[in-house]
């Protein structure tokens, strides 16, 4: 696509959605990017979110699902997790922009006097700032194609400036350099026994009123779209029949790229962007993963202990990491979502009995903390494979201090500032910070692993990099006491000397990590920690299977 030695000139694809939210724009964008990548093209995806928060960092997980963290420390939308899991390439701050960030940038410029006294308006100032952000990745010279997913629904007041900026870019960039894909819904009315196209027609009409004519329609549907219906949709929506793509509900999101390939979505995109590419998609690794995922040899039950379990998206990356690790082991992982608030001392054994592994999830705040500590104690005493992530690792440290070292009032400074033994304490550089947004330890940090430990066996090397999102740390004042009592600190940050990984000897698998290994787990590179945890959980389950026969 580009001459030797010349930087790549990117082409831009915009993905919009209509009729209803949560149709899966992120999955369609990721699937298309995967197909283009499999043909040898370089792709990246960015998400534009219409809310006024600067980033999702301060949002309750019930509001917006998990907050995903990139290598460069950006707190982003969970769709960026899909982008990375599908493409196996890292994203960055430039891949997620909110209305809040756009307005913040414009207002900062206005206060600085950059606009030379002009009246600052939505058009052109806000739209220009949106366009600048859309173009950032394209101007890096790294990508053939930049896919931009515009959050929300067509017709929402919030997303209008983004739609307008995309409309302007179509004219700025010229013919064959932009493409609009509109994701819509074809509902099935059970009483009439019919699929209905009217919501799609209205959605496209609304988009057209904003000055955008979609090039390709991707239609979410529970039932197959007859050719006659594709023809009708094309006729009423000003697109050719070949550009009406059926997106049927799939058993797993990882099936979607193959379904889109069948519908020739990537071929239509290349044709419309005037990109000549006769390479056959290389999806060998992908189909191998999918085959293992859909035909497991074994099955295990893992308990996920968290306080946001009612909304599964709150722990999206963890759930997906289990899918990747399960497939790598030919194992189906059944997740039992258990609320830490219901984990009273009395019913812990009743709730956790029969589990092959226990994961204590990350989180913030005091709510449900005792339930997490109780779960750690149960896993430690009953020799059940255990993995604690972030706050889960901190709970493991607190539990060990209380029940092994005899420091009965040990706690985290976050939960109890009055504790005589704050074994988890506020990082020194955090003590004077009052603002919450973007002020934690965020992004990828190095970790040095001690040879001969379980962590070394898991990772197979002494130096790793994992992503962080936290404000509190292991209190090094207690380091010697923990070591004497038998807690192994097997991973240390080489720059700050802060503890990254703890483990216990004489246990089938007991690991707590201060970082978030789930963020880096992808289809093609599953997290080693999750892979070995699933393996240990299966080995724990095997004796029970044999005994029950």
Nearest Cα to 391, choosing from 455, 470, 326, 492? 470
| Tokens 């104690």 belong to residue | 377
Residue 85, marked binder: no
Residue 392, marked binder: yes
Residue 315, marked binder: no
Residue 11, marked binder: no
Catalytic position from the list 67, 153, 219, 390: 390
Residue 243, marked binder: no
Residue 196, marked binder: yes
Residue 391, marked binder: yes
Residue 55, marked binder: no
Calculated CA dihedral for residues 462, 467, 469, 473, nearest 10 degrees: 10
Distance between CA atoms of residues 223 and 60, nearest Å? 35
Catalytic position from the list 75, 263, 518, 538: 518
Residue 230, marked binder: no
Residue 200, marked binder: yes
Residue 370, marked binder: no
Distance between CA atoms of residues 264 and 425, nearest Å? 54
Residue 118, marked binder: no
Calculated CA dihedral for residues 300, 389, 410, 536, nearest 10 degrees: 30
Question: What's the distance, Cα to Cα, between the start and end of the chain in Å?
Answer: 61
Q: Is 48 helix (H, G, I), strand (E, B) or coil?
A: strand
Nearest Cα to 133, choosing from 173, 181, 87, 166? 166
Distance between CA atoms of residues 397 and 372, nearest Å? 12
Question: In the annotation, is 540 catalytic?
Answer: no
Question: In the annotation, is 66 catalytic?
Answer: no
Residue 448, marked binder: no
Calculated CA dihedral for residues 457, 459, 460, 461, nearest 10 degrees: -120
Distance between CA atoms of residues 548 and 545, nearest Å? 5
CA distances from 307 to 62, 286, 304 (A): 10, 33, 10
DSSP for 349-410, please give it: HHHHTT-SEEEEPP--SSTTHHHHHHHHHHHHHTT--EEEETHHHHHHHHHHHHHTS--TT-
Residue 394, marked binder: yes
Question: In the annotation, is 390 catalytic?
Answer: yes
Q: Is 526 helix (H, G, I), strand (E, B) or coil?
A: coil
Residue 158, marked binder: yes
Residue 211, marked binder: no
Residue 393, marked binder: yes
Residue 25, marked binder: yes
Residue 480, marked binder: no
Residue 414, marked binder: yes
Residue 249, marked binder: yes
Q: Per the structure block, which two tokens stand in for 455?
A: 């962590």
Asked whether the bond before 124 is cis by omega within 30 degrees of 0, the reply is: yes
Residue 79, marked binder: yes
Q: Per the structure block, which two tokens stand in for 435?
A: 């603002």
| Tokens 């307008």 belong to residue | 164
Residue 81, marked binder: no
Distance between CA atoms of residues 408 and 399, nearest Å? 9
Catalytic position from the list 125, 182, 411, 516: 516
Distance between CA atoms of residues 91 and 443, nearest Å? 12
Residue 201, marked binder: yes
Binding region: 21-27, 62, 79, 149, 156-158, 196-201, 232, 248-250, 363, 391-394, 414, 471
Binding region for Mg(2+): 79, 149
User: Catalytic positions, please?
Assistant: 390, 516, 518
Binding region for ATP: 22-27, 79, 248-250
Binding region for UTP: 21, 196-201, 232
Binding region for L-glutamine: 62, 363, 391-394, 414, 471
Binding region for CTP: 21, 156-158, 196-201, 232
């Amino acid at each position: 696509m580009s001459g030797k030695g010349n930087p790549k000139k990117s082409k831009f694809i915009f993905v919009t959605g209509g009729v209803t939210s949560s149709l899966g724009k992120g999955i369609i964008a990721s699937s298309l990017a995967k197909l283009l990548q499999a043909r040898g093209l370089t792709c990246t995806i960015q998400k534009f979110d219409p809310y006024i928060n600067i980033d999702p960092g301060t949002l309750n997980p019930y509001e917006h699902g998990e907050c995903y963290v990139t290598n460069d420390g950006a707190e982003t939308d969970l769709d960026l997790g899909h982008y990375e899991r599908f493409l196996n390439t890292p994203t960055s701050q430039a891949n997620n922009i909110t209305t809040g960030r756009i307005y913040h940038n414009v207002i900062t410029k206005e206060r600085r006097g950059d606009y030379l006294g002009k009246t600052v308006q939505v058009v052109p100032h806000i739209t220009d700032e949106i366009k600048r952000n859309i173009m950032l990745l394209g101007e890096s010279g790294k990508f053939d194609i930049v896919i931009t997913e515009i959050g929300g629904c067509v017709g929402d007041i919030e997303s209008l400036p983004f739609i307008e900026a995309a409309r302007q870019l179509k004219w700025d960039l010229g013919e064959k350099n932009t493409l609009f894909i509109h994701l819509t819904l074809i509902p099935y009315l059970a009483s009439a026994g019919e699929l209905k196209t009217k919501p799609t027609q209205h959605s496209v009409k609304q988009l057209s009123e904003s000055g955008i004519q979609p090039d390709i329609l991707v239609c979410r549907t529970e039932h197959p779209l007859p050719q006659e219906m594709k023809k009708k949709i094309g006729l009423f929506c000003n697109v050719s029949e070949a550009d009406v793509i059926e997106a049927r509900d799939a058993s797993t999101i990882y099936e979607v790229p193959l379904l889109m390939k069948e519908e020739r979505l990537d071929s239509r995109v290349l044709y419309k962007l005037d990109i000549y590419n006769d390479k056959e998609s290389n999806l060998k690794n992908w189909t191998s993963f999918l085959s293992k995922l859909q035909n497991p040899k074994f099955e295990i039950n893992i308990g996920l202990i968290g306080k946001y379990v009612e909304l599964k998206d709150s722990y999206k990356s963890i759930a997906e990491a289990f899918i990747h690790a399960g497939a790598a082991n030919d194992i189906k992982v059944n997740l039992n979502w258990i609320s830490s608030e219901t984990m009273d001392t009395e019913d812990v054994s009743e709730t956790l009995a029969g589990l092959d592994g226990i994961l204590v999830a990350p989180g913030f705040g005091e709510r449900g903390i005792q339930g997490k500590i109780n779960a750690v104690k149960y896993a430690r005493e009953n020799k059940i494979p255990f993995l604690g992530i972030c706050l889960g690792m901190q709970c493991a440290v607190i539990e060990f201090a209380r029940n092994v070292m005899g420091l009965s009032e040990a706690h985290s400074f976050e939960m109890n500032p009055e504790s005589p033994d704050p074994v988890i304490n506020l990082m020194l550089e955090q003590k004077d910070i009052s603002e919450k947004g973007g002020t934690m330890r965020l992004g990828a940090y190095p970790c040095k692993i001690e040879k001969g430990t379980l962590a070394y066996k898991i990772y197979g090397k002494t130096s790793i990099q994992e992503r962080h999102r936290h404000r509190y740390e292991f209190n090094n004042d207690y380091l010697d006491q923990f070591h004497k009592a038998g807690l192994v600190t097997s991973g240390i940050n080489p720059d700050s000397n802060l503890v990254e990984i703890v483990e216990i000897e004489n246990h089938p698998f007991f690991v707590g990590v201060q970082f978030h290994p789930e963020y880096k787990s992808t289809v093609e590179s599953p997290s080693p920690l999750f892979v070995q945890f699933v393996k240990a959980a299966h080995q724990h389950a095997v004796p029970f299977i044999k005994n029950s026969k």
